[in-house]
Amino acid sequence: MKKIYIVDTNILIHSPESVLNFQDNDVILPMVVIEELDSLKTADGEKGSNARAAIRILEGFRQEGNLLDGVVLPGGGSLRIEKNYVDVTLPEDMPDSKSDNRILKVCRGVADANQEVQTILVTKDILLRIKAQILGITAEDYTTDQVPKGAERYTGRTEVFAEEACFGDFKKKGITQEHLYQIDENGRRQEVHLEINEFVILKADQSARKTQLGRYNGEKVVPLAYKKSKPFGVSPRNVGQYFLQEALMMPAEEIPLVIVNGMAGTAKTFYSVAVGLEKVYNSDRKEYRKILVTRPGAQFDDDIGFLPGTEQEKIAPLLRPIIDNLEQLVDSDEGERYQDEEELHGKITELFDRGIIAAEAMNFIRGRSFVETYLIIDEAQNMTPKQVTGIITRAGKGTKVILLGDPHQIDNPYLDEQTNGLSYAAEHMKGSSLCCQITMTADECERSELAMDAISRM
């Protein structure tokens, strides 16, 4: 049954092409949305860029017909701008001065004028959805780019049983899928379907205590190639870190993209920086020219131009977690590490001065191409799907992109576990031969006993 979707401004800012994704239904943009796009078109960063992109899309449709009357969308529906219903009455505590309430007026007026068709408000503003419900208006989030919920998400790792005869030859020959199986909740044996580059914990079916770690290369499960590596003196402490090390150590020619999900304390950033230093600082092969680190901030990226100081001074607060990890890596002696703070700071400053590692704000790397760069994007859960797509598609020859983050720790008010850039990239890159993914588990927290206890309790 055909529906009418009334689209809020934040949907266009989140996804400028969203008006094309409502199939054969009718899409309405209240006039206030056009006004808000106009005010946002000169904004810095992602908001301004997306506002301008949405305006260009609307201009394309304007050239095809009158947007007040409606123009046909590619999916068969229509798109129109609604400037009426200004006299619709709302409760006294919903004043006309608020843009949200002007949108609600349009929703109420359109619903009353089209009672035979379901009218739905689409907004990422949770409070606006609540206000709509109070008025009896159906409201939804924009779900086109949502990924599956937590329990259904790809983790990049799995446990399987291997036939005893094959298990013994694993290190020499690997194991094909037909010799692997899993046990369902009813205790029955079932076939295994592995994604390419999925990491595997192999258990011998005659003795579950015998385990091996491997990676599915598209043909068979093979042993980890970098299991014995110690990048910048760091050794894996758990299964997840063995898998993480494998993904990070593989050359960019094989795996140019690594996506790591995990809660605080699972050493995502620490291990990524360690491997980067190993590759740039110690390796004779010189795989990468430098390490480039960036972290998106929910408000920071748009406001950086107004902050005082140089670029490095502006972004220093957001890069403090990177500095914390560097302090542990450049001086491995825990007993002496903080005895001379000036010397420790000097070692880290030298890494930046020599160009071994660099840090830039997300806003400053848009539109650039990166060649032979080890690119770490920390807190990637605060990126939008468009941002993460823009970063990955900018990776040039010899560049390795590492996305790190925890979808449960999102600061952007218009993103959630299913719509953030990290989850979006993980879902869409699943099965790519050029991408490795790994989700770190709660029991792989290595920060401290307190951190581990808090994660399990809170």
- The string of DSSP letters for 359-372 reads E--GGGSTT--BSS
Q: How many Cα atoms occupy the beta-carbon half-sphere of 245 within 13 Å?
A: 23
Q: Are residues 249 and 372 in the same domain?
A: yes
Domain boundary among 174, 199, 223: 223
- What is the C-alpha separation between 269 and 46, in angstroms, rounded? 25
Could you tell me if 257 and 432 are in contact, meaning their C-beta atoms sit under 8 angstroms apart?
yes
Secondary-structure percent of the chain, ordered helix, strand, coil, rounded to 5: 40, 20, 40
Q: Are residues 153 and 278 in the same domain?
A: no
Cα-trace Rg, the chain: 26
Q: Are residues 317 and 434 in the same domain?
A: yes
Q: What is the pLDDT of residue 367?
A: 66
What does pTM read for this prediction?
0.79
* Tokens at 159, concatenated: 């446990």
Q: Can you give the CATH number for the domain in which 120 is found?
A: 3.40.50.1010
Give a yes or no: residue 312 inside a domain.
yes
Q: Are residues 136 and 152 in the same domain?
A: no
Q: Are residues 58 and 166 in the same domain?
A: no
- What is the C-alpha separation between 299 and 296, in angstroms, rounded? 9
| 51 dihedral zone (left: phi>0; alpha: psi -120 to 50; beta) | alpha
Q: Give whole-number Cα distances, 293 to 252, 262, 279, 377, in Å.
A: 17, 18, 15, 6
Could you tell me if 211 and 201 are in contact, meaning their C-beta atoms sit under 8 angstroms apart?
yes
How far out from the chain centre does Cα 39 lie? 28
- What is the C-alpha separation between 311 and 39, in angstroms, rounded? 27
Specify the number of domains making up the chain.
Answer: 3
* H helix runs in 393-458, sequence order: 421-428, 449-457
How far out from the chain centre does Cα 286 lie? 29
- What is the C-alpha separation between 234 and 252, in angstroms, rounded? 21
Per-residue pLDDT tens digits of the chain, which is 458 residues long:
899 999 999 999 988 999 999 999 999 999 999 999 999 999 877 788 899 999 999 999 999 999 999 999 999 999 999 999 989 999 989 998 899 999 999 999 999 999 999 999 999 999 999 999 999 999 999 988 777 766 678 999 999 998 888 888 888 899 999 889 998 888 788 999 999 999 999 998 877 678 999 999 999 999 999 999 999 999 999 999 999 999 999 999 999 999 999 988 899 999 999 999 999 988 888 899 999 998 886 444 445 555 555 656 666 666 677 888 888 888 765 555 556 677 788 888 888 888 889 888 777 676 678 899 999 999 999 998 888 998 898 888 999 999 999 998 888 877 888 889 999 999 999 999 999 999 999 888 877 677 667 766 76
Q: Are residues 62 and 101 in the same domain?
A: yes
Give a yes or no: residue 231 inside a domain.
no
Q: Are residues 178 and 240 in the same domain?
A: no
Domain boundary among 201, 223, 245: 223
Domain boundary among 116, 140, 164: 140
Q: Are residues 428 and 347 in the same domain?
A: yes
Q: Are residues 190 and 205 in the same domain?
A: yes
Give a yes or no: residue 90 inside a domain.
yes
Run of H or E residues at 350: helix 341-353
Q: Are residues 287 and 384 in the same domain?
A: yes
Sheet holding 118-122, edge to edge: 71-72, 78-82, 26-30, 3-7, 118-122, 138-140
Q: What is the pLDDT of residue 301?
A: 45
Domain that holds residue 135: 3-140
Q: Can you give the CATH number for the domain in which 219 is found?
A: 2.30.130.10
Q: Which amino acid is at 125?
A: D
